[in-house]
Chain A
Amino acid sequence: MYQPLLTSRYLMTRMIPLLAVAAVALCVALVIVVISVMTGFLDMIRSSGQTLMGDVVITYPIRGIPYYDSLISTLEQEQDVKAATPVVDTWGLLRMPYPVGDAKESEQVQIWGIDPQSFSQVTGFAETLKWSEIPADTAANMRWDRMQQLAPTLVANLDLDARVRLLQQSAADEVGDAEPSVIRQLAANATRDDLARRLLHLAWQPDALRLVIGDEAMAAIDSHDPRLGERGLVAEEGRTLQRGGRAAIVSGLHVSKANERKSTGEYDISGGGYWWMPNHEATLTTLPIDSRGGLLDPKSIVLPFANEFASGVFLIDQTRIMVPLQIVQDLTNLDSADIVDPDDPTQVVGHVPAKATMILVRGQDGIDPVSLRSLVQTSYRRFQDACIEAGQSVPRLDRDPGLRILTWEEQNASFIGPVEKERELMRTLFSIVYLVCGALIVAIFWAIVYEKTRDIGILRSIGASRMGIVWIFLLYGLFVGVFGALAGICLGWLVTVNMPAIHEQMSSPPMWLGIALLVVAAGLLLWTISKYRGGQLLPVLLGTLGVLILAGLGAGELVLRSSGGIVLWDPAVYYFTDVPDAVDWPSAWITAAGAVICSVVAAAIPAARAADIDPVGALRYE
């Protein structure tokens, strides 16, 4: 077999096949990055849908399903059902606490009334809670406020040792080298105002503050808000939708405009931490609708925030708030109530049960949502029959078109479907780059065949067949395809897994990069000038192009930096706050295989030409 020997030598001794390898690698990397991001995007939608909704959902909007406790009990009797939870969903207005004054902003919100305990069993709600404790800046603000009230007492209680510690902590650079006796003297002579001022500054250094004033005084400062002293209370209050014993809201992280997402994915809270929502309250207003769809009188309630959640789906984090179930039932007139005689309001003539507009169901591990849906349908029929037998009116399957039992995927079909189609469209469009890649390989191999004409004549003279000549170039195409695909996979992997970092760099490009590019451009310019003086045209042309590209990139980077960078992944557009960074390996391997096949097919054209070369003419070829 002479083909592998020749192919490997042709590859190793020529620069031109490297161009073909680079072309294949770039095409493969491009497709892998695009498809991986799209797949990651789709996976996020899928997983977040399931995380936030459970596996199967029973919906009966507006009027709601009565006797849902009984339905949930029926469902939970099934072995394959892990848990079920009632939800009332509606829309409302949330009058935010900011800005200070009368012109407070209102947000349109999707209200989910939930039973926090069972809701957490069905969904991943508890894991989506953003705050496990009060953010440091907010805590400092809270302590500052409290310490301003307590300052006279706190200063009065400072003994000389505590004053010395205060000076050491608050003015380390002033007294660091001083003799202890001098520091004691300064501490003794310090005015109360000065001590109070220094103490207030330590609000941002809780450890130093505790060292100065001691545990007892620290507890006194923190006593006005138990969340300051008790770790985990913020998360616990989020899980139970309560704050200080009051029913409370857990809102999506982007409902509040006070949470500003930085390019790093971290959040800045406006006002130096002051506008941390769980320190405030808001007015929630709804417009209840009666059973015939008519509007009833608006209802309002003032509720504190307990926590915020970050599901990762921007659309949900921007609009949804969680409120205790009973409160939303009350706001939507879906709560339980007695029916009284219109002529004699003291006479109770009946009872309306509380209702839920959705029942979310979580299956046991391993059960697929479609099987679970059938199971839920069967259970619902059982519940429906039992209710009818007991003379209770419930929405009926097959009769009430508003009653639907759907898997989470079906429920989100309008959301998932377009993204799936978009991914396939991208895959198709980007596969066109294969044609470009193939055309490049044909051109490069055509040139190689032209260059190797005499070799072909020599090989035919020693007995090589026409097919043997074809195989040389097919093998050549295969090598180019395989090396290019492998390099492309590596490049695609590198870019994809570093996507968040690249995105961060694009959002806030470092200054050193722009300067470095300009320095390299300047160096290349000097080199180009030296070549120009030497009278060489090609290096001058390449050098000039390089200078223009590098200088353009460097200057562009600095301009970008001065204008605040660009946010490629805008969560408001792409639904998610994070950029996908996992390679879609099945697609990556298919892409690589496609590139290899494309390379071989493209190489077949010049290979056939090589086989058709007349050996006698080839031997005479110079």
Chain B
Amino acid sequence: MSSPLLEAHDLHKTYRLGQVDVPVLKGCSLAVSRGEWLAVLGSSGSGKSTLLHLLGGLDRPDSGRGEIRHEGQPLEGRSARAFDRYRAQTVGFVFQFYHLLPELTVLENAMLPGLVPGGIGAAPARRRVSNLLDRFGLSHRLNHRPRELSGGERQRTAIARALANDPQILLADEPTGNLDAHTGAEILDLLAEAHQSGLTIVMVTHDQQIADRADRDCRLVDGVLSVAEGTEPAPLA
């Protein structure tokens, strides 16, 4: 078995609410192979989004309590710029509430990651997302603002944005959570299509049916992941 693309070992994350420490993750470990689609199942408030934020380098685990590795290399200890590059080049986020910028058009929203440092640049991004949006059936919506789009169209735009820099990993946080079943299915079809072309996906959801579209799933309960046998990450060297 090849070495995992993304690994998490014994992740702990505690948030402080007022005077109270609220532990969200209490020792999460997982390993995602290259080209794999992993679904993380969990109820609301179980820490699914927190796990995704940690894997995407948007947040850090509690100091000294857990580690994330990408291609075997730990994220911890990297500079802020390296984290920015990691988010720009390696991962792409898809959120439940789309999170599009209201002032920008569909095309501008989708190509925005291409413009940040480490992105593929304006012209290549424009070409790439134009193709993606065309494939996603949004070629007639390029100059529309997000408020003029349906929920499904917004999420397709968000997926195009997540794929703008051709990342290795797509981190999807309840990507169908705000959509009706039919539209949700269409979005999952798009993810499946991307996965077919070799994209690694970590998707969190509370819905078993949606999780069933993934290659495998695991369940986040009480801050700990229950992982199917054989998919646990190898012990750290």
Contacts and interface: CB of A to CB of B under 8 A. Distances in A.
Q: Do A and B come from one complex?
A: yes
Interface of A: 1-2, 5-6, 9-10, 13, 454-455, 457-466, 468, 615-616, 619
A606 B53 CA distance: 26
B59 A463 contact: no
A466 B116 contact: no
3 closest A-B pairs by beta carbon, nearest first, are: A463-B88, A9-B103, A2-B115
A6 B115 CA distance: 11
Given A461-B87, A462-B112, A615-B58, 8 more contacts: A2-B112, A5-B115, A9-B104, A458-B101, A465-B81, A466-B80, A616-B50, A619-B95
Contact of A5 (B93, B108, B119): B108
Interface residues of B, number: 32
Nearest to A9: B103
- Interface centre among A6, A458, A615, by most B CB within 10 Å? A458
A13 to B, nearest CB: 5
A2 B104 CA distance: 11
B107 to A, nearest CB: 11
A485 B173 CA distance: 46
B35 interface: no
A466 B117 CA distance: 12
B93 A461 contact: yes
Interface in B206-226: none
A463 B93 contact: no
B116 A468 contact: yes
Nearest to B116: A463
Contact of B113 (A9, A457, A463, A465): A463
B205 interface: no
B104 A5 contact: yes
Given A1-B115, A2-B112, A5-B115, A462 B93 contact: yes
A501 B50 CA distance: 68
A465 B104 contact: no
A615 B53 CA distance: 10
A616 B103 contact: no
Contacts of A10: 103
Contact of A454 (B85, B88, B99, B165): B99
A459 B103 CA distance: 13
A462 B161 contact: yes
B93 A616 contact: no
A462 B103 contact: no
Interface in B78-98: 80-81, 84-89, 92-93, 95
A463 B117 contact: yes
A459 B119 CA distance: 12
B4 interface: no
Interface in B41-92: 50, 53, 56, 58-59, 80-81, 84-89, 92
B116 A2 contact: yes
Contacts of A2: 112, 115-116
B58 A463 contact: no
A464 B103 contact: no
Contacts of B99: 454, 457-458, 461, 619
A616 B115 contact: no
Contacts of B58: 460-461, 615-616, 619
A14 to B, nearest CB: 9
B118 interface: yes
Nearest to A466: B80
Contacts of B85: 463
B161 A455 contact: no
Contacts of A464: 84, 116
A616 B59 contact: yes
Nearest to B98: A458
Contacts of A461: 56, 58, 87, 93, 99
A140 B232 CA distance: 116
Contacts of B113: 462-463
Contacts of A9: 103-104
Contacts of A459: 112, 116
A461 B165 CA distance: 13
A463 B95 contact: no
A546 B185 CA distance: 56
16 contacts: A1-B115, A1-B122, A5-B104, A5-B108, A6-B104, A455-B101, A459-B112, A461-B87, A461-B93, A462-B116, A463-B84, A465-B84, A465-B117, A468-B116, A615-B59, A616-B59
Contacts of A454: 99
Contacts of A619: 58, 95, 99
A466 B80 CA distance: 9
A320 to B, nearest CB: 67
Contacts of B95: 619
B59 A462 contact: no
A335 to B, nearest CB: 87
A398 to B, nearest CB: 74
Nearest to B86: A463
Contacts of B87: 460-463
Nearest to B171: A461
Contacts of B89: 463
Contacts of B100: 458
A461 B89 CA distance: 11
A2 to B, nearest CB: 4
A616 B108 CA distance: 23
A475 to B, nearest CB: 14
A10 B102 CA distance: 10
B57 to A, nearest CB: 9
Nearest to B122: A1
B126 to A, nearest CB: 12
Contacts of A468: 84, 116-117
Contacts of A466: 80
A615 B86 CA distance: 15
A13 B103 contact: yes
B18 to A, nearest CB: 15
A278 to B, nearest CB: 73
A610 to B, nearest CB: 14
A454 B161 CA distance: 16
A489 B174 CA distance: 53
Interface in B6-49: none
Interface string B127-168: 000000000000000000000000000000000010001000
Nearest to A463: B88
Contacts of A616: 50, 53, 58-59
A160 to B, nearest CB: 90
A463 B50 CA distance: 18
A64 B14 CA distance: 97
Contacts of B117: 463, 465, 468
A311 B56 CA distance: 79
A580 B184 CA distance: 72
Nearest to A622: B97
Nearest to A462: B113
Contacts of A13: 103
A541 B81 CA distance: 50
A462 B95 CA distance: 12
Nearest to B56: A461
Contacts of A615: 58-59
Nearest to A13: B103
